[in-house]
Structure 1
């Protein structure tokens, strides 16, 4: 036996031992295999196409509603800050300016883009779960998909409202105790804002992993994959902000990289969502119920 062959055998043996010794490693490998067999890379490309249009339509509609109906500048600022943090390359100020005039257009575009996005997300995640991708009656399926889109929008709105209220309470406490400019107060407010952001994104990630594929998962099975999405999103935001800083001084780069960076961000984010779905699908923790057909499923 050649030295190369012996080395390869030792590597294979060591890899098997590592997988048997570390459950998390074996789980990650099984999830990657499930991800690859479902052709999730191609599925994420379709998701990115519809998510690109849905993101702009959702932002326009949100600013139109908050600006025209609620007329609450601080709430608008909260939404603007969340979108800027989540999508570093999104020109939020331009969307806010156009929100009033483009709100009616967004009312038409958002349901269509959201429906196409949800249809693709549902079929992609159910494919990873190895379930029927298009369950039930066509028209009922579209109604449920629209309901899920609306539910996710309501969940996002409620989450931002809670975060805004909590931030206001903490700021009030800081102003009436040590002062908002004091170092301890600034540190506490920064940590609180970060924790609230993590909480919002984790809650939304859990909803994305369960509502579109219409599955009921135990918390201990879905929380880990949801945190993978949340942590991955924070890394993506950091990298996106770094790219923004690198190209800020060159207008030519800004024109080209704006849409390209947004597409790349959404592509990687959708791949992350599908990988987290594979993690949930290959977990052995708890029972999973397919709400589209109601059978119990391990």
Structure 2
């Protein structure tokens, strides 16, 4: 008796046809189907990983650190010109340096200031050219990384126009970073309390907490402006306003947390000789890496929003090349081989019969 089979009702569609179903989705897939925000986070992570976010963050950090020293030379030269024309201000600065540093450290710093004043012309020329070269490379790589998060080709465009845009972006970025870090530094230092005492509000109960909260809010606002500008205007594409605001707000909050932690760690690290020697440069590298990593993630978040994905230009697929090969399948090959053998035998038999008939003649 023949074996009978019945379709599995679980895999049978409305037409009575049994179809193969996909495997049961995992926990992550279920969460992505259920929550849109979680699906957005996963899209952001996939974009960040596929476009090399870790490597881009590290590369931008390298060019950032490389640009710090020429920019510092430029700042020292500018300070030298200002102090050289104002002896009273110079004397006041030297007094402050002597009071801030103990022993030979104050004398060393004062000698550096005097050298900067004496060689201000040379330092300004070398520092200016080096800062221009290093700063443009820094901005080019920063724009490259942000554009990659948008799945764009950052190498397109006119070379001269790109360099001019990078120069303008460099100046804006430096001013924005100084403003953002300056607000946090003032809020974390004793300058706020000194100002409150000067205006007569230092003894108000809870005033220190209020000023800290105000400084925190202002710092987040400054961070938001920095990240909004980086996310909105650095990519070589049109960025939706809603996506840029969301990414900038997330980056501003995380950036403020990093700044607060950096201020606490810096104050503790500079209290010992080893930390005072190696701490600043290591701290700068770590903070810059975290900043650019945050920027890459926020750019990936903005680039994978629904608004941005609808505006994204999907490139056309590569043209398909169809090559037809005359090959026999394993099932057909034996049949054709037997047919060819049969035809050969028949032809041979006919030829042999014809030859025998001719011989009899």
TM-score (norm 2): 0.58
- For residue 47 of structure 2, the aligned residue among 13, 16, 34 is 34
State the 1:270 CA deviation. Answer: 1.2
- For residue 140 of structure 1, the aligned residue among 161, 165, 168 is 161
Secondary structure in 2 aligned to 1:133?
coil
CA distance, structure 1, for counterparts of residue 264 and residue 180 of structure 2: 27
- The 5 A counterparts of 1:174-185 are 179-185=201-207
Unaligned runs of at least 5 residues, structure 2: 1-22, 90-108, 185-190, 316-361
Aligned position for 2:244: 222
Secondary structure in 1 aligned to 2:306?
coil
Does 1:285 find its partner at 2:307? Answer: yes
Unaligned runs of at least 5 residues, structure 1: 1-8, 74-93
Does 1:213 find its partner at 2:235? Answer: yes
CA distance, structure 2, for counterparts of residue 67 and residue 288 of structure 1: 53
Asked whether the equivalents of residues 179 and 222 of structure 2 are also in contact (C-alpha less than 8 Å), the reply is: no
CA distance, structure 1, for counterparts of residue 314 and residue 50 of structure 2: 23
Does 1:150 find its partner at 2:171? Answer: yes
Alpha-carbon displacement from aligned partner over 1:115-165 (angstroms, at most 9, x marks no partner): 0011101112112211121121222221221122223345567889999xx
More divergent stretch after superposition (131-140 vs 103-112): 103-112
- For residue 30 of structure 2, the aligned residue among 3, 17, 22 is 17
Asked whether the equivalents of residues 174 and 185 of structure 1 are also in contact (C-alpha less than 8 Å), the reply is: no
State the 1:190 CA deviation. Answer: 2.3
State the 1:30 CA deviation. Answer: 0.6
Rg bigger for which structure? 2
Asked whether the equivalents of residues 183 and 215 of structure 2 are also in contact (C-alpha less than 8 Å), the reply is: no
User: Which has a greater percent of helix?
Assistant: 1
Asked whether the equivalents of residues 266 and 283 of structure 2 are also in contact (C-alpha less than 8 Å), the reply is: no
Q: CA RMSD in A?
A: 4.0
State the 1:248 CA deviation. Answer: 4.2
Aligned position for 1:259: 281
Alpha-carbon displacement from aligned partner over 1:157-177 (angstroms, at most 9, x marks no partner): 7889999xxxx9xx999976x
Q: Which structure has more RCO (C-alpha within 8 Å, separation ≥ 6)?
A: 1
TM-score (norm 1): 0.69
From the superposition, tell whether residues 205 and 62 of structure 1 become closer, same or farther in structure 2 (CA, over 3 Å): farther
Does 1:129 find its partner at 2:150? Answer: yes
From the superposition, tell whether residues 162 and 138 of structure 1 become closer, same or farther in structure 2 (CA, over 3 Å): same
